[in-house]
Amino acid sequence: MKKIALILIIAVFGVMGVSAKPEKAIGMRKAKAIALKQATGKIVHSETLKENGKPSYLVDVKSTSGEITKIKIDSQGNVLDKSTVAATQAPAKHKKKHWWKF
- What confidence score (pLDDT) does residue 37 get? 95
**1 confidence band (pLDDT: 50, 70, 90):** low
**Nearest alpha-carbon partner for 72 in 101, 41, 45:** 45
**Running DSSP on this structure, what letter comes out for residue 39?**
S
**Using CA atoms, how far apart are residues 21 and 3, in angstroms rounded to an integer?**
28
pLDDT digit string (tens) for 52-94? Answer: 889 999 999 999 999 999 999 999 999 999 999 887 765 556 5
Query: Which domains, and CATH codes, for the chain?
Result: 24-90 (3.10.450.40)
**Position 17 pLDDT exceeds 90:** no
> How many Å apart are CA 82 and CA 55, to the nearest integer?
17
Q: What is the mean pLDDT of residues 25-38?
A: 94
Global confidence as pTM: 0.64
